[in-house]
A and B are shown apart, each in its own frame.
Chain A
Amino acid sequence: MTNTYRELVIGGVLIAPIVAYAAIALMAFLLLRPLLRFVGFAKLFSNPSLAELSLYVAMFGLLALLV
């Protein structure tokens, strides 16, 4: 069984779906940042930036896996 990929088409140029997922995950992550600041996400980890990166990777992975 093979997956069917829906490419993003911008002006006739086909863009790999993974690029679109990465961009969507980034947008979603940027929208999530005020909420993370509000709940004090940075104070929960000794290396907050690595935790934020892991969160982004998890969001990106879920998007690539489930969409």
Chain B
Amino acid sequence: MPVNAASTAAPRPLVFAGFPASSWAFALRVWLAMLVALYVSFWLELDSPSSSALTVGVLALPTRAQGMEKAGYRLLATVIGVVASIAIAGTFSQTDGLLLAVLGICVGLCTYVAGMLDGNRAYAAALCCITVALVAIEQIDTPLQVFQTGVARGAAIGIGVIAVALVNEVLAAPNYHPVLANRIETLHRRVTDLAQGAEPASAPAAASLLHDIAALRPEIRTLATEASIGAARTEAARSALVEIVNALSLGRMLAALPAVSPDTAGLVAMARSWLRTEIGRTNAENRDSLDALREGTRPSHAWHAPLYRSRRIATEAAARAAISFTLIALFFVLTGWPTTELCLALVAVILALGSTTPAPRSFTLVAVMALPIACVLAGILKYVVFNGVSEFQLLAIGLAPVVIGLALLITLPNPMLSSLGRLVLVFTIAVLAPTNPQSYDPEVFLVTSFFACMSAVLSFAAQMLLPPLPGDRKIRFLLGEARRELDHLGSGRTRHLAPEEAAFRDAARIEQILTANGASPLDGKITAETMRYFDQAEALRRCHAELDRLQHGPLAGTAQEAERALAQRNGGAILAAAEALRLAAARSRLSADAAIAMLIPASSAFAPSQTSGRGEQP
């Protein structure tokens, strides 16, 4: 998720101490929201005021819409998590091993749901697990306290959400839609540049573009929370993204048209002219959608942007998370140490949050680095800066450098540093645990710090023992699923999506393939294979859609022959079917240009050089 909202807004922002003014404004908003949350929590005498400050740390996002959407999901997930905690504690308390097994299953279930969703919805699934961890696991020995703890956590989170919303509204946090509109426009420009460039059929460039387009999907939903016209903006942004994918796939079809030979010259010319018209129409629709996004009106055509979900990957990740959690729980049972529930709860937190990232092990590594830093910062704050004070003003001043500094770190473009900043901010508040009156018991602090650090180390050790699904295996699964889907295209087993929407779904799968290996670049052969499946599926779907339109007219017989040629996946047969369709259409004085124009790219997508996997080299 991009964290610097102003990165594309102003060409030369005002810079102070190396950070742009927007970053400073964001950091000040986080600090102010944290103070408001803590003050109200102290005033209302809530049981866990630190949860409200933690909520502010978690919702620290630079634009209003991003924070509000996450806040909504955070509240929803807390309610579900508290209900699940009450059910688990009520049914399985005092069942020893069975309770731990149920908690392990709960971790696995939440990880599975997180794997099937994206963006803040995946975060909500992870937060259900975190709520169960913080409510049910922390009260594992005192099940009667579960309800009270749940209500206290819910109230604190509610206060935190209100504080963030209020500060963002009053201090006019920037809107997200101009940033998104600029990014969508840039993507559209890149698609146009690729189509007009020297290598319009380049697989790595197209795959990277599709990745960037699909990566925006979780962000567009946030616009709905921005204003009363947010839902219209979401629709417009979604349509714009689908249209860009559409323009890119049409551009690739145009670039891949077969070389003109005396036999096929007429057909290729017809396909080229039709594709150019379609690209022009798609570009015009895209401009309309972008205008609708900026003005907050509904787009002329509202497309769905479906998400690609891999059940197999989600199941494997869930099984691994559940086993890791159960192993660590067993370790604690065997050691027989007291007060390990905090550690176990933090393990569940790290595993759940890791499941929402493409590389869970890297996330755990960042947590291993963040926790000692957070403990040291909390220790310095507690015993050097505050050292026994209990006035709120001093708490506010003392928190300022840490909170503002870490919020500035969150705004950095480097994802590693940004993620580290967020985790250190959240863990520092968790370890410091501001309460009224503040506790300065060094023993509690040392035990908390020790178990917090140990939870990260144990999570990392569990992931070393049972590594998360490796990237190349994920890629193999995804490519296998793409291949199977391609085999079943047209056989009635496919989903009923418009070709444009199905193309976006394929783009979402390409995004997952490209992020499966983390930051390391993808093998050129795999990229070429990925793009080949994309091109073939896209050509097939469009052909089926166009041929379906001819099924109820005089050209039905020829259209069925073309369908049979498509079922054979034979480029030569498809080309022959296109020629037959052209002749039949001329005889009947009907227009079948669209179907013919789609059959030509399909014939080149299924040409022997393409199907054997040697056709497109990066």
Contacts and interface: CB of A to CB of B under 8 A. Distances in A.
* A and B bind: yes
Contacts of B170: 50
Contact of A42 (B64, B166, B172, B227): B227
Nearest to B162: A22
A55 to B, nearest CB: 10
A48 B177 CA distance: 14
Contacts of A52: 227-228
A42 B169 contact: no
B172 A37 contact: no
A37 to B, nearest CB: 5
Interface string A28-66: 000001101100011000011110110000000000000
Given A37-B232, A42-B296, A48 B227 contact: yes
A53 B225 CA distance: 12
The winner among B169, B170, B172, B228 for most chain A CB atoms within 10 A is: B228
B232 A50 contact: no
B538 interface: no
Nearest to A38: B228
B229 interface: yes
B162 to A, nearest CB: 9
A52 B229 CA distance: 11
A47 B172 contact: yes
B226 interface: yes
Interface residues of A, number: 12
A34 B230 CA distance: 11
B136 to A, nearest CB: 19
Interface in B81-115: none
Interface in B499-520: none
B228 A50 contact: no
B169 A37 contact: no
A50 B169 contact: yes
Chain A contact residues, majority secondary structure: helix
Interface string B473-514: 000000000000000000000000000000000000000000
A50 B170 CA distance: 7
A66 to B, nearest CB: 22
Contacts of A50: 169-170, 172
Contacts of A37: 228-229, 232
Contacts, number: 27
Contacts of B175: 49
A26 to B, nearest CB: 11
Contact of A49 (B169, B232, B296): B169
Contacts of B165: 53
The winner among A34, A48, A49 for most chain B CB atoms within 10 A is: A49
A53 B171 CA distance: 13
Contacts of B229: 37, 42
Contacts of A33: 228
Nearest to A33: B228
B292 to A, nearest CB: 13
Contacts of B232: 37
Nearest to B296: A42
A53 B64 CA distance: 13
Contacts of B172: 47, 50
Contacts of B169: 49-50, 53
A6 to B, nearest CB: 20
A36 B232 CA distance: 13
A30 to B, nearest CB: 10
Contacts of B226: 49
A34 B175 CA distance: 20
Interface string B150-175: 00000000000000011001101001
Interface in B283-302: 296
The winner among B226, B229, B296 for most chain A CB atoms within 10 A is: B229
Contacts of B228: 33-34, 36-37, 41-42, 48, 52
A53 B296 CA distance: 19
Nearest to A50: B169
Interface string B210-234: 0000000000000000111100100
A33 B224 CA distance: 11
Nearest to B65: A49
A34 to B, nearest CB: 8
A34 B228 CA distance: 7
A60 to B, nearest CB: 11
B230 to A, nearest CB: 9
A53 to B, nearest CB: 5
A8 to B, nearest CB: 14
A7 B265 CA distance: 81
A38 to B, nearest CB: 9
B161 to A, nearest CB: 12
27 contacts: A33-B228, A34-B228, A36-B228, A37-B228, A37-B229, A37-B232, A41-B228, A42-B227, A42-B228, A42-B229, A42-B296, A47-B172, A48-B227, A48-B228, A49-B64, A49-B169, A49-B175, A49-B226, A49-B227, A50-B169, A50-B170, A50-B172, A52-B227, A52-B228, A53-B165, A53-B166, A53-B169
The 8 closest A-B pairs by CB, nearest first: A36-B228, A33-B228, A53-B169, A37-B228, A50-B169, A42-B229, A48-B227, A37-B229
Given A48-B228, A49-B227, A53-B166, 4 more contacts: A33-B228, A48-B227, A50-B170, A52-B228
